[in-house]
Structure 1
Amino acid sequence: MTEPVPVTYSYCITEEGDRSVEDQIGNGHVYIVRHGRFPFRGPNSFHVGTVARRLRGLAMAQRIFHHYTLQFSRVSFSYDGSSPVFSDVSFSLGPGWSGVVGANGSGKSTLLALAARILQPNSGTVSGPSDRFVCAQPTEKAPDRIEDFFNAFDERSIDLMRRLELEFEWLYRWQTLSDGERKRVQIAVALWLAPDLLALDEPTNHIDADAKDLVLDAIARYDGIGLLVSHDREFLDSVCARCVFLRAGTATVRPGGITAGLEQAGREKIAAERALDDARRRTASLESETVNRREIARSQQRRRSKAGLAIKDHDARFKRNLARYTGKDGTGGKLLRQLDGRLAAAHAELDTKEAEAAAARSGDPSGVSLSGTTSRADSIFRLGAGEILIGDRVVRCPELSVSRRDRVVLLGPNGSGKTTLIKRIAATLPEPKAETPFVRGTVVFLPQELDAAERRSVRAWLDSLPNADRAVVFSGVHRLGSDPERLLESPFPSPGEARKTIIASAELVNSTMLVLDEPTNHLDLPSIILLEAALAAFEGAVLFTSHDERFVETVAAGGARWILEPTPDGSVLTVL
């Protein structure tokens, strides 16, 4: 009996028409049932559930199975003749959430577009459900079906509004919603449509921990094929059954969330290096043995040769003829030919192992150095107790200070005043120079978002640097996973490239402190992991905000926590 394949959709497939479900079960026909199994034949090989629809024929059952599998078969793709994004990629994904992870430019959004048939591969095939939907990253525009969703008042829309804590009046004030509120509406509409394939691009961007929990609860109930692009490791670990790792035009599917996938990738890398070392040892041993055997063969050939023998030395000639006839002194040549074959096979194996090890190592940035310096002063900045106005709301703060090698994280829900407080702190520092607005004395300040003018100033600052200093910054940008050449292709860099440039600049200014507002925004997962390590080694102080729980736990380990708690008229800051 064929092993049943897990599925999640409700169908009844039969070859005998519209007979009762009980009769069909008794006769061992084929069923797909909600949260059940897909047996090809045989009684008692399935879990009985709610049958939503009936279709006829085993062939139809086979087609439905493929319908609920996303399959990439030898897919290659590039944009307008540029370098390939994917080369001969093959994998298949079933129902459940699959994380899609990789560095910036590795093809995450391209993979979503190929899966949703928005893009077509240059070669190969992509097969899967025809009912598909992509929930894109930008939130400037309201979803196309937003009015249908809010006015549906059906069971699913009501449940989603409750789970994601949406308010009906949000339908009429999209422009005044926060990015986090817009993202929750986006996701609600996508889940309400209930496509067979749903792709979410960075669903946790700009949302706080409470909102992330709401989103996690909602998408965990989706039972189709889900593709999830995210740099949030906690989120990926919580919801994903597998992850697709993209690197250097390839795609590798590993089971479990991002943590399990990275651990397996590490094991694969170690195994590839060990296999390469073994192949090198075997090849070296065979090369040494081949040299020895070649010398033995030459010696035996000399002993078998009649060259140098007197033409009337019949006794010596007879002995050498006898050696040739019996094979004596001829084994060296035979063994040498065998060794040549084994050596050729060893060289071929070595080439394969070198390619596998190189693939396991490829794209591994070496990490950015942020050495910085420890401030001589006890306190780098001090902000007196008081109130900060945010519109008609008030943030009440005790006296705040950061000294030398402090690690301080500022936490609080969206709208509680984190960014406003960070800007107020930055205002207490020395005024920046016009050409370097992100450097205040010896403090590097990274705002939450950089507008076009600020990104142009980053490019202008780069252009003004001496070649040696520019090389230091380019090295840091490269080690954070971006191509420095791309910085020179546009009047202003992308948000991610600009943020990496500002972070890398800390190495030039001998910074005593980093003030970072959501430093993981627009960074890919490999870059975030590298940034964690760099901040841990930084000699100065670090003050930052972040919704990335893993990032907070790593960077602020043993440090202080400033927590903004909402009040009826604003929020109050507590120092822990």
Structure 2
Amino acid sequence: MNLTNIGYTYPGAAQPVLSGITLALAPGWCGIVGDNGCGKTTLARVVCGQLAPSEGTLTHGLVCAMCEQDANVAPARLAEFACDYAADAVRLRARLGVQDDWPWRFDELSGGQRKRLQVAVALWERPDLLVMDEPTNHVDAPTRRAIMGALAEFRGIGLLISHDRELLDGLCRRCLFMGPRGAVMRPGTWSEGAAQEERERAEASHARDVARTEAARIRREAERRRQRAEQSASRRSLRGVDPRDHDTREKIGRAVVTGKDGIAGRSRAVAAARLERAERAAEATFVERRYDGSVWMDVRPSARKVLFRAAEGELPLDGGAVSAAGASAGDESAGDVQEDGAASGEAGPVLRMPALTIGNTEHVALVGANGSGKTTLVRHVMERLDPDVPCCYVPQEPTEAERRGALARLGELLPDERGFVLGIVARLNSDPARLLEGGEPSPGELRKLMLALGMLDKPALIVMDEPTNHLDLHSTQALQELLAGFPGALLLVSHDAALLDAATSTRWEVERAGEGDAVLHVR
């Protein structure tokens, strides 16, 4: 499969998201990596024929399939997969832990369960070319290993868009690194390609520093020659020379005739030309910008010492009623509270919880296997927060309405507020110009924007469900620094151990207890 000089510009956008992409793709897995918004998913859609390129050509007669990064998107052939009990389909279900009833209740599944189902259907289709867009978003460590094993058996052309270093290194033997200056294919694993990219960046930075130093030296030399030339011009002038000083007038005339006194002027012209070349060289040396750095936030911890409180009790995992002990302190009129811990209707699986609190400066990590009830518990916390506790909530998968709302709010902000929001987006390693140009934000960019907009409300509590999903590696590091330094309270749901270790101090761990039940432990 060949792509030649591919470019793509979204309608209404000022700049193309893809430009000059030329590739030859062969069987095996090729990683596609780069910062949020650089065009990875757009390139995948062009390759699969979902988008027609604005320029360039691509040639292939291949059957393509794409596993979407959005876990809310049900696969197109989900019903066919659900009805297939041939050996391949049964083996895929077993390998990825997909239960037979999952396709029929897709909307009820957790993000990790949906992702497993998406991956299973994509592999079941057995395409010539398979695009996996963030296949390990939402999933826990055992599921990640299962997905890696299943993808390793694929024998067609595979494109893996991911920020999962372990997955990239385990599957890919070449990676396309996408950035502001285009795309570069590097052989080897992601780690090998990233090391080469960093060496190139260091060399470019050194070359730029050398060019700037040389330009400064030439600039100083040019200034000295300019002064010398002005002195020579002054000496050549007969103005101020006594008409009776025939000797001086004769020397000046001889210097002008022989051209000796014009050397300084010619040297100045030569120096100016050298300076222009040196400045062009310094400007031409490109070093990719990184928006790393901490974010100063004008936020203070809430005056309330405890923001959330729940007594010991049980939380239904099937959408039922909360037991009597599960209501938050002060919520005496909660209509769905059942006496004696008995839920109305048929008994279903429950999450058994100890007494819980979130202090005004406490950073809490919520961990557990996929489908164990973490997101259900987050919703419970959000529903039980008192209205006077300002909260910034970034969900696991923002809806279309939330996307439109975030972009609309950005457009309505006053200039100072917009500058504050875009400053946070920049420090989270995204180019704010893309949001201002009206381009379609990537899922990673949208989550950064939602967090930045939430900062305007000076939240006492930040709640983020799988915050590193869709984020590139530099953005994850920047987010980690921001959350670790947040002075208020934090509730963080994540499978990213490094993020949790750096940004949280209390751990709520959900463990399965059989019969669909789960138990929450506070560590």
Decide: shared fold, TM above 0.5.
Answer: yes
Query: Distance in 2 between the 1:305 and 1:447 partners?
Result: 79
Query: CA distance change for structure 1 residues 234 and 535 in 2, over 3 Å: closer, same or farther?
Result: farther
Displacement, 1:531? 1.9
Deviations 1:415-458 (A, max 9, x none): 2111222233334431x3xxxxxxx5144344444556666776
Displacement, 1:540? 1.9
Among 118, 135, 148, the residue aligned to 1:203 = 135
Displacement, 1:525? 5.3
Among 384, 387, 393, the residue aligned to 2:314 = 387
Moved more, 214-223 or 170-179: 170-179
Deviations 1:70-99 (A, max 9, x none): x54433222357431222234555554333
Displacement, 1:112? 0.7
Q: How much is the aligned-residue C-alpha RMSD, in angstroms?
A: 4.5
Corresponding position: 1:153 with 2:86? yes
For residue 329 of structure 2, what is the aligned residue in structure 1?
A: none
Corresponding position: 1:415 with 2:371? yes
Corresponding position: 1:555 with 2:503? yes
Displacement, 1:111? 0.5
1:333-352 equivalence runs, <5 A: 339-352=271-284
Query: Distance in 2 between the 1:207 and 1:312 partners?
Result: 97
1:561-576 equivalence runs, <5 A: 561-569=507-515, 570-576=517-523
Q: Contact between 2:163 and 2:470, CA under 8 Å: does it hold in 1? A: no
Among 374, 385, 399, the residue aligned to 2:301 = 374
Query: CA distance change for structure 1 residues 179 and 485 in 2, over 3 Å: closer, same or farther?
Result: closer
Task: Give the TM-score normalised by the residue count of structure 2.
Answer: 0.75
For residue 89 of structure 1, what is the aligned residue in structure 2?
A: 21
For residue 492 of structure 2, what is the aligned residue in structure 1?
A: 544
For residue 78 of structure 1, what is the aligned residue in structure 2?
A: 9
Displacement, 1:565? 0.9
Query: CA distance change for structure 1 residues 482 and 386 in 2, over 3 Å: closer, same or farther?
Result: farther
Structure 2: runs of 5+ lacking an equivalent: 319-347
Moved more, 460-469 or 71-80: 460-469
Q: Contact between 1:370 and 1:504, CA under 8 Å: does it hold in 2? A: no
User: Higher relative contact order at CA 8 Å, sep ≥6: structure 1 or structure 2?
Assistant: 2
Deviations 1:230-288 (A, max 9, x none): 34454445434444343347223455666666665555444433322221221222233
Displacement, 1:389? 1.8
Displacement, 1:163? 2.3
Query: Distance in 2 between the 1:451 and 1:468 partners?
Result: 28
For residue 476 of structure 1, what is the aligned residue in structure 2?
A: 424
Displacement, 1:132? 3.7
1:257-296 equivalence runs, <5 A: 265-293=197-225
Displacement, 1:571? 0.5
1:48-67 equivalence runs, <5 A: none
The SS at the match of 1:204 is coil
Task: Give the TM-score normalised by the residue count of structure 1.
Answer: 0.69
Query: CA distance change for structure 1 residues 378 and 239 in 2, over 3 Å: closer, same or farther?
Result: farther
For residue 512 of structure 1, what is the aligned residue in structure 2?
A: 460
1:169-188 equivalence runs, <5 A: 178-188=110-120
Q: Contact between 1:131 and 1:196, CA under 8 Å: does it hold in 2? A: yes
Query: Distance in 2 between the 1:340 and 1:453 partners?
Result: 58
The SS at the match of 1:538 is coil
Corresponding position: 1:101 with 2:33? yes
Give the % identical residues. Answer: 37
Query: Distance in 1 between the 2:12 and 2:302 partners?
Result: 51
Query: CA distance change for structure 1 residues 136 and 543 in 2, over 3 Å: closer, same or farther?
Result: closer
Query: Distance in 2 between the 1:72 and 1:417 partners?
Result: 44
Query: CA distance change for structure 1 residues 305 and 410 in 2, over 3 Å: closer, same or farther?
Result: closer
Displacement, 1:572? 0.9
Query: CA distance change for structure 1 residues 85 and 474 in 2, over 3 Å: closer, same or farther?
Result: closer
Q: Contact between 2:29 and 2:171, CA under 8 Å: does it hold in 1? A: yes
Query: Distance in 2 between the 1:494 and 1:90 partners?
Result: 23
Query: Distance in 2 between the 1:494 and 1:123 partners?
Result: 22
For residue 67 of structure 2, what is the aligned residue in structure 1?
A: 135
Query: Distance in 1 between the 2:192 and 2:361 partners?
Result: 33
Query: Distance in 2 between the 1:496 and 1:290 partners?
Result: 49
Q: Contact between 2:81 and 2:89, CA under 8 Å: does it hold in 1? A: no
Displacement, 1:409? 0.9
Query: Distance in 2 between the 1:487 and 1:297 partners?
Result: 50
For residue 534 of structure 1, what is the aligned residue in structure 2?
A: 482
Q: Contact between 1:410 and 1:543, CA under 8 Å: does it hold in 2? A: yes
For residue 361 of structure 2, what is the aligned residue in structure 1?
A: 405
Query: Distance in 2 between the 1:484 and 1:345 partners?
Result: 31
Q: Contact between 1:323 and 1:329, CA under 8 Å: does it hold in 2? A: no
Query: CA distance change for structure 1 residues 144 and 180 in 2, over 3 Å: closer, same or farther?
Result: same
For residue 215 of structure 1, what is the aligned residue in structure 2?
A: 147
The SS at the match of 2:183 is strand
Query: Distance in 1 between the 2:350 and 2:304 partners?
Result: 31
Moved more, 222-231 or 275-284: 222-231
The SS at the match of 1:137 is coil
Query: Distance in 2 between the 1:501 and 1:298 partners?
Result: 57
Aligned length: 488
Query: Distance in 1 between the 2:148 and 2:185 partners?
Result: 22
